Amino acid sequence: MRARALAWMILGAALSTAQAQEPPAVRSERGQTPIDMERDIPDIFRYQRDRPPVPRQWPKQPPLIPHAVKGYNITKNFNHCLDCHSPSRRKETGATKVSDSHYLNREGRKTINVSTRRYFCMQCHVPQAEAKPLVENTFRPLKAVTK
Amino acid sequence: MNAEKQDRPGMWGRLKAAGPWLAVGLFAAGIIFWGGFNWAMDLTNTETFCISCHEMRENVFQEYRNTIHYTNRTGVRATCPDCHVPKEWNYKIVRKIQASNELLHKVLGSVDTPEKFNAKRQKLAESEWSRMKKADSRECRNCHHYEFMDYTEQGRRAANRHPAAFTEGKTCIDCHKGIAHALPPIDQGFAPW
């Protein structure tokens, strides 16, 4: 009898907490557009084509990618960036050198080749598109400020 | 003797008698046979035919769908046979005969799962690369004639590399590997963490 009462109590408690914690409202990637209607197509940007290397805007800025990278995949099997930028291919392809900072392992010791820690190039180096900035940006490069 | 011969005409005689009709008949049969043969072979030279096997549809075709030869600005496409089957008849028939081996492996189920396919990817890729290399990238050059490339229209990097590579006697596949499908694992010499 007592066991039964206890079981009911536990069940009651569980139900009340479940009611108290309402699940957060699901926000669809489609926004408020109903499923049978087409949503506004977001702006489509074209990546800039090849141009000479872009100068850094502040010290230690990861240099921007001055070319389109469509189809240049970084997979478990192959890193397409290093196909041109690796030290062994650089001379032949004329690609920008991978910085010395990328030849350090996590203990800070020098490595012979680019460290695996730097495998995902596009985490820091990004290609450029002719897109309107999402927020106003008042950044001025250091050179322009000191002039 | 003479009379007997006239009664029963020989082979040549009968041919002569049938004469023009026989020639027309043989000619027509030839057209039908030859046309039919090429028509049947052309049916096996379509994207639809290639991806009717799930080995192709679920492995290489999915990779190809993300590339410029599948979808692009103008909608001009290069489908499976454009790259993997030669256009000239003599090369085509040789490749088609070799491809009968693929039917055997379809039956054996050699690459019928993505895992099996990836296990063989290195070997399959290398055999296709060497075929391309031996033929001086013939199938690329069906569309991409380097004699007619306008380097002023090409990007900076392409305009630099193309003339240099052609002078060195390189062929398309030497640089353009993995443009339509995922590459096999390639050791790029990354240092550990």
Contact call for A78 and B183, based on CB within 8 A = yes
Q: For chain B, where are the alpha helices, taking DSSP H only? A: 2-7, 11-43, 47-50, 54-55, 61-64, 80-84, 89-98, 100-108, 114-134, 138-141, 156-167, 172-175
The whole-number pLDDT of residue B1 equals 47
* pLDDT of residue B7 exceeding 70: no
Count of the separate structural domains present in chain B: 1
Contact call for A78 and B156, based on CB within 8 A = no
Residue A45 or residue B145, greater confidence: B145
Backbone angle region of B19, left / alpha / beta, with phi > 0 → left and psi within -120 to 50 → alpha? left
Within 13 Å, how many C-alpha atoms sit on residue A28's CB side?
7
Contact call for A93 and B157, based on CB within 8 A = yes
Residue A60 or residue B131, greater confidence: B131
Residues of B in contact with A54 (CB under 8 A): none
| Residue A91 host element (H or E) | helix A90-93
Contact call for A94 and B160, based on CB within 8 A = yes
Contact call for B188 and A86, based on CB within 8 A = yes
Residues of A in contact with B68 (CB under 8 A): 70-71
Residue pair A83/A71 in contact (Cβ under 8 Å)? The answer is no
Which residues, listed in sequence order, are joined to residue A65 by a DSSP beta bridge? A127
Give the distance from residue B115's alpha carbon to the nearest chain A alpha carbon, in angstroms. 14
* pLDDT of residue B50 exceeding 60: yes
Mean pLDDT of B39-56: 93
Residues of A in contact with B188 (CB under 8 A): 78-79, 82-83, 86
Contact call for B190 and A103, based on CB within 8 A = no
Cα separation, A145 vs A139, whole angstroms: 10
Cα separation, B116 vs B114, whole angstroms: 6
User: Given B157, B161, B191, which is nearest A113 (Cβ)?
Assistant: B191
Cα separation, B183 vs B129, whole angstroms: 11
- Per the domain annotation, does B72 fall within a domain? yes
CATH number, domain containing residue B142: 1.10.3820
DSSP conformation class of B57 = I
Q: How many Cβ atoms sit within 10 Å of the Cβ of residue B188?
A: 17
Q: Which of residues 154-193 of B touch A (CB under 8 A)?
A: 155-158, 160-161, 178-179, 182-186, 188-193
Task: Answer whether B149 touches A (CB < 8 Å).
Answer: no
Task: Answer whether A103 touches B (CB < 8 Å).
Answer: yes
The whole-number pLDDT of residue B16 equals 77
Best residue of B68, B120, B157 to probe chain A, by most A CBs closer than 10 Å? B157
Tell me the residue type at B38.
N
The whole-number pLDDT of residue B107 equals 93
Confidence of residue B66 (pLDDT cuts 50, 70, 90): confident
Respond yes or no on whether ipTM tops 0.95.
no
- Per the domain annotation, does B158 fall within a domain? yes
Contact call for A78 and B188, based on CB within 8 A = yes
Mean pLDDT of B99-105: 92
Give the distance from residue A95's alpha carbon to the nearest chain B alpha carbon, in angstroms. 9
- Per the domain annotation, does B19 fall within a domain? no
Phi, psi (degrees; rounded to nearest 5) at A79: -105, 105
Residues of B in contact with A79 (CB under 8 A): 188, 190
- Per the domain annotation, does B68 fall within a domain? yes
* pLDDT of residue B56 exceeding 60: yes
Cα separation, B125 vs A100, whole angstroms: 34
Residue pair B7/B13 in contact (Cβ under 8 Å)? The answer is no
Mean pLDDT of B118-140: 95
| DSSP letters spanning A8-76 | HHHHHHHHHHHHHSPPPPP--TTTT--TTSPPPPPP--PBP---SPPPPSSTTPPPPB-S--TT--B-S
Q: How far is CA A128 from CA A66, B58, B140, in A?
A: 7, 33, 30
- Per the domain annotation, does B122 fall within a domain? yes
Residues of A in contact with B160 (CB under 8 A): 94
- Per the domain annotation, does B5 fall within a domain? no
The whole-number pLDDT of residue A38 equals 80
10-residue mean pLDDT profile of chain A (147 residues): values are: 69 62 76 80 81 88 92 90 90 89 92 92 92 85 72
Q: How many Cβ atoms sit within 10 Å of the Cβ of residue B134?
A: 11
Give the distance from residue A100's alpha carbon to the nearest chain B alpha carbon, in angstroms. 13
Could you list the residue range(s) of the whole structural domain that residue B77 is in? 29-175
Contact call for A75 and B189, based on CB within 8 A = no
The whole-number pLDDT of residue A15 equals 62
- Per the domain annotation, does B186 fall within a domain? no
User: Given B67, B185, B192, which is nearest A71 (Cβ)?
Assistant: B67
* pLDDT of residue B9 exceeding 80: no
SS3 (DSSP) at A140: coil
- Per the domain annotation, does B185 fall within a domain? no
